[in-house]
Amino acid sequence: MVPTELSVSIDSPPPGRATPIGVLRAIWNELSGGIGPWGALRPVFSILLAAVPFLYLGQHFNRQHKKGFWWFLLQLPLLLTVVLWPLIYAWSIIDSWWVSNNIVSIKSNID
């Protein structure tokens, strides 16, 4: 048998006429990563909520209520130390941002 190569070419449709709304839509998609305004702002909002000390609102915002509750209870003995409480506080902010980005990523892959 002699190997044969097939070549397939697909003609792309000609580009449409650019409109001001289409240009703004393309700019917005580039700025928001194509996931819309809430998807682009969700991690920032999550960080702002997580920055409120002692309450762990970022975890509750990400619907991780059990984690927020346990971190609230864990901070009570850690408040007596000077080093450990700031570490769990900083980690809660990072964790809130990380989980929120994962939620946005999963939802953008579904759509």
Residue 22 CB coordination number (10 Å): 11
CA 23 – CA 31 distance, rounded (Å) = 12
Give me 37's structure tokens. 């305004």
Asked if 88 and 75 touch (Cβ cutoff 8 Å), the reply is: yes
Dihedral, 43, 45, 47, 51 alpha carbons, nearest 10 = -170
Average pLDDT of the residues in 58-67: 91
Residue 6: pLDDT band with limits 50, 70, 90: confident
* Residue 13 Cα to chain centre, angstroms: 34
At 64-106, the pLDDT tens digits run 999 999 989 988 888 788 778 889 999 999 999 999 888 888 8
Q: What is the pTM of this model?
A: 0.61
CA 94 – CA 51 distance, rounded (Å) = 10
Asked if 46 and 96 touch (Cβ cutoff 8 Å), the reply is: yes
